Copies of this chain bind each other. A is one copy, B any other.
């Protein structure tokens, strides 16, 4: 199985990042990773509230996040651990991620839906 390649930070493209995070589910996954520090794909499944996400879709969401350069995935035995690349991305595109995450967080308060980012409970 492939060693899960990640793009070097200088190859990151804003449109890929925006596209990755324009999906509320992916945004929620990413927010979760940042909250918790590290997450394996399967546990993210249950973490998204009421919504049940098929494994194959979930796998694809992680792939999109990884290829956008937002997360780093490492195999540990049978599972994959995903870490955010926040610091790198922040250095490359200052203010981008914080603006996006804050936007989702403030939106969650006014109109809660499937993507419940940064919700207290």
Contacts and interface: CB of A to CB of B under 8 A. Distances in A.
Interface of A: 10, 13-15, 17-19, 21-24, 27, 92-100, 102-104, 106-107, 110-111, 115
Contact of A18 (B93, B100, B110): B100
A79 to B, nearest CB: 29
Interface SS majority for chain A? helix
Contacts of A93: 99, 102-103, 106-107
Given A15-B27, A24-B15, A27-B15, A102 B110 contact: no
12 contacts: A13-B111, A14-B27, A14-B104, A15-B23, A15-B115, A18-B22, A22-B22, A93-B103, A93-B107, A95-B99, A99-B99, A99-B100
